[in-house]
Amino acid sequence: MPLIWCSISGHGFGHAAQTLPVLNELGCRVPGLKAILRTTVPSWFFKGRLTIPWEISPVEQDIGCVQQGPLHIHVAKTWAEHRRVHADWEKRVEEEARAIRSAAPDLVVSNISHLSIEAAAQGQVPAVGLCSLSWDRVLEPFLDPEGPERAAQAEIIRQIRRSYAMAELMLRPVPGLPMNAFRAVVDVGPIVQPILPNPPQLRKAIGASPDELVVLVGFGGIALDALPFERLERLNRYRFLVNGTVPNKFRRIRSAASVPLPFSSLLASADLIVTKPGYSTIVEAVAHARPVVYVRRYTFADEAGLVEYVHRFGRATELPADDFAAGRWQDALRAVCAIPEPTEIAPAPTGAAEAAALLAAKLKGQR
């Protein structure tokens, strides 16, 4: 039975959401394929979404960034966590390599842990990266400009790049960052979870009237600290679906968990999306022609490319962070609805099939 070791970052759910369609496509091409999911993403995220046999191995794969909610990076804690991980780097690599050798997979796929790539090399198993970003590019803007920590921070980035260079191949879905750390980079199309929209079922589930617009408020796997519920309740033309708990007193705001549809179906079926510029939400909103109101963070390396993508191929407008927190959403919600349909056609969402074909060839070469 072909076996793939899939290392998935636990930094939110975006890395898992990007990987799942590829694994499902790969399962269609490689009979009997099984996956070991090496990740701290909870197992419930994969249930009902991953169509191949799988088991989860809940071991930390990377740090990414330490965040204060989905909109803010805690820079000092981020570097502290990376120092912790790299303080005994060789031991961590040896332990991960031992686990890989014990499982004896045919291939390691990493989104986008440098630990798993170096451990695969030590365990003599081919490794392929799969992601629209890499952690060296994400961390680079946070280097201390002149302070005493810069040398240690720069060494951490160099170590990440040395490990990435051990991958045989990097699969980069559109839109993706430049990734010079990898020996070979192959671009694939956008990766989108295939889903059929069902607006009537969504509207019925939340009791939306014909003259109301359904707004999905989705900020990924890192929960929002708070929402301006009182202000949103007074926006009469809208119904809101949000992640997390909603106090019972609000009529226009519902928890997404209370609706019997998966998140991807909610995204494809809602009239509007309010979000941060994250990969899966942006490319899926474009693919399903959903207007997007986004709150920029201005500190994430891949954000500018995603913002350019959604403006070029979709309908989008920015909601300043202060207005978002204060509940001043109405102008942005109105503005995005008035934007004309884009004149440029978005790249076809062929990334999952293209990546799966390349991985299937790798697996075939190993057997």
Looking at the predicted structure, is the pLDDT value of residue 305 above 80? Answer: yes
Contacts of 100 (CB under 8 A, 6+ apart): 5, 108, 116, 119, 120, 123, 125
Q: Kindly report whether the global pTM for this prediction surpasses the value 0.85.
A: yes
Which domains occur in the chain, in start order? 3-191+350-366 (3.40.50.2000), 199-338 (3.40.50.2000)
Q: Between the CA of residue 273 and those of 63, 201, 293, 315, 349, what are the distances in Å? A: 28, 17, 6, 11, 19
Mean pLDDT along residues 316-345? 97
Q: What is the DSSP letter of 3?
A: E
Q: For the stretch 190-227, what's the b/e string if a residue is b when 16 or more beta carbons lie within 10 angstroms of its beta carbon?
A: bbbbebebeeeebbebbebeeebbbbbbbbbbbebeeb
User: What would the pLDDT profile of 39-95 be if each residue is shown by its tens digit?
Assistant: 999 999 999 999 999 999 999 999 999 998 899 999 999 999 999 999 999 999 999
pLDDT at 263: 87
CA angle 225, 231, 235 (to 5 degrees): 125
Mean pLDDT along residues 159-167? 98
Q: How far apart are CA 327 and CA 321, in angstroms?
A: 10
Instruction: Tell me the pLDDT of the chain averaged across its residues.
Output: 95
The residue with greater pLDDT, 173 or 145, is: 173
Q: For the stretch 145-160, what's the b/e string if a residue is b when 16 or more beta carbons lie within 10 angstroms of its beta carbon?
A: eeeeeeeebeebbebb
Looking at the predicted structure, is the pLDDT value of residue 268 above 90? Answer: yes
Q: How far apart are CA 233 and CA 90, in angstroms?
A: 53
Instruction: Kindly report the number of other CB atoms within 10 A of residue 365's CB atom.
Output: 10
CA angle 56, 60, 65 (to 5 degrees): 130
Q: How far apart are CA 287 and CA 144, in angstroms?
A: 39
Mean pLDDT along residues 154-181? 98
E strands, the chain, where? 3-8, 34-38, 54-57, 107-111, 127-130, 169-173, 185-188, 213-217, 238-242, 253-255, 272-275, 292-294, 316-318
Q: How far apart are CA 162 and CA 153, in angstroms?
A: 14
User: What would the pLDDT profile of 218-236 be if each residue is shown by its tens digit?
Assistant: 998 887 878 999 999 999 9
